[in-house]
Amino acid sequence: MANYFSSEFTLGILGGGQLGKMLLYETRKYDIKTKVLDPSAEAPCRIACNKFVQGDLMDFDTVYSFGKDVDLLTFEIEGVNIEALEKLENEGLKVYPSSKTLRHIQHKGKQKEFYTSHEIPTSSFRLFENLESLSAAVENNEVGFPFVWKSCTGGYDGKGVSIIRGMKDMDNLLEGECIAEDLIPFKNELAVIVARNPKGEVSTYPVVEMEFHPEANQVEYVICPARIEPEIATKARAVAEQVSRAFGHVGLLAVEMFQTEEGDILVNEVAPRPHNSGHYSIEASYTNQFEQHLRAILDLPLGKTDSKVGGIMVNLVGAEGHTGDVVYENIEHIMAMEGVTPHIYGKRQTRPFRKMGHVTIVNESLSEARKIAEEVKNSIKVISK
């Protein structure tokens, strides 16, 4: 076992956004050396890592030579050059999560096929090479309205996903490979974060309940624990564990799921990294998701995933009609409320729906936390000067 603490061991991180920034709190806590690659000179990770490299995450040579200079490689964003990861793995570097997991996940069609072939419950779907073949299937009544269209490779933060209720909804879709999925009339949208280390130890967090903003298609509240029956929670955690084991995943995996009216759990999609749905854990959990990711990829014992208190997370996204230097209006007002912690990601410029930060509300009583969360949401505004 390597000595990670105050040593020369260096962890490489692909991506320097807010997820990486929060991961760096934990590398600092353990005094683990880090090196970060990000295309932006103003990346939130720029400070707090030991070495920052500016470069293109999708460029083979950039990622490969970055990887040659670290002892273990992880990422905080899926959009990285997989071929470089494969070459690095073949040359003996530990890359966690692995390029193989990433290949399955980066492509939404392959992800769905993976679930089906591993008997992981998911909604029915069909894969199409392009919009033309999808349109043909719709015209032949092989695919019926409504359905969910997903671009296989173009999706992030609501782009690349659309609910198609009729022909006119198909006008402005992204070109390229896509899937058409059954639209699930779900009762709840849930998520479970699961960690697995190279030894094969697996640990799941409590189930969280998600609420999406109707227009921006971004999470508005994440509530932990989800207000669901214990049997549903047990089932959701078991499915998350099944997914992690099926992938032979190392690191954190966020599993987003639907709970149907009938009480079934269907996997929607996964993210192989710390996730928005786990931010509540910084304040609410015994071990936060970023520390858990670090423990997992370093093959350290996994931490306790229970919550100390109830937790709710509200995203801080840029208000509509505001573009420019950011101001967090009423931030002092929300800081006066009980158990409220704002996290400011460090992006200087706001624009509509940009993820600028989040706020966690913790309380012994989850219903009290929910009330305060609503006050928070109604008070703070991310605007421009």
Which residues are at the interface with a second copy (CB under 8 A)? 1, 3, 5-6, 21, 24-25, 28-31, 47-50, 286-287, 291, 295, 300-301, 303-304, 308-309, 326-328, 331-332, 335-336, 338-339, 341-348, 362, 364
| The two structure tokens encoding residue 179 | 């899937």
With respect to a second copy, which residue has the nearer C-beta, 2 or 58?
Answer: 2
Cβ at position 326, least distance to a second copy in Å: 5
Cis peptide before 97 (omega within 30 of 0): yes
With respect to a second copy, which residue has the nearer C-beta, 31 or 142?
Answer: 31
256 is in an annotated binding site: no
199 is in an annotated binding site: no
Pick from 344, 345, 277: which is nearest to 311 by CA?
277
Q: Which helix (H) or strand (E) holds 367?
A: helix 366-379
177 is in an annotated binding site: no
Q: Which helix (H) or strand (E) holds 115?
A: helix 108-117
150 is in an annotated binding site: yes
374 is in an annotated binding site: no
Q: Are 102 and 125 in contact (CB under 8 A)?
A: no
268 is in an annotated binding site: yes
With respect to a second copy, which residue has the nearer C-beta, 115 or 290?
Answer: 290
Cβ neighbours of residue 138 closer than 8 Å, sequence gap 6 or more? 144, 145, 167, 170, 180
Cβ at position 308, least distance to a second copy in Å: 4
Cβ at position 32, least distance to a second copy in Å: 8
Pick from 218, 222, 278: which is nearest to 251 by CA?
278
83 is in an annotated binding site: no
91 is in an annotated binding site: no
Cβ at position 16, least distance to a second copy in Å: 13
238/171 Cα distance (integer angstroms): 39
Cβ at position 254, least distance to a second copy in Å: 21
55/59 Cα distance (integer angstroms): 8
With respect to a second copy, which residue has the nearer C-beta, 142 or 338?
Answer: 338
256/240 Cα distance (integer angstroms): 9
Q: Are 60 and 84 in contact (CB under 8 A)?
A: yes
Which residue is associated with the tokens 């105050």?
Answer: 6
With respect to a second copy, which residue has the nearer C-beta, 186 or 345?
Answer: 345
With respect to a second copy, which residue has the nearer C-beta, 168 or 348?
Answer: 348
Which residues are paired to 193 by β-bridges?
Answer: 254
Pick from 355, 382, 317: which is nearest to 19 by CA?
355
Cβ at position 95, least distance to a second copy in Å: 22
Binding residues for ATP: 108, 150, 181-184, 189, 268-269
Q: Return binding residues.
A: 108, 150, 181-184, 189, 268-269
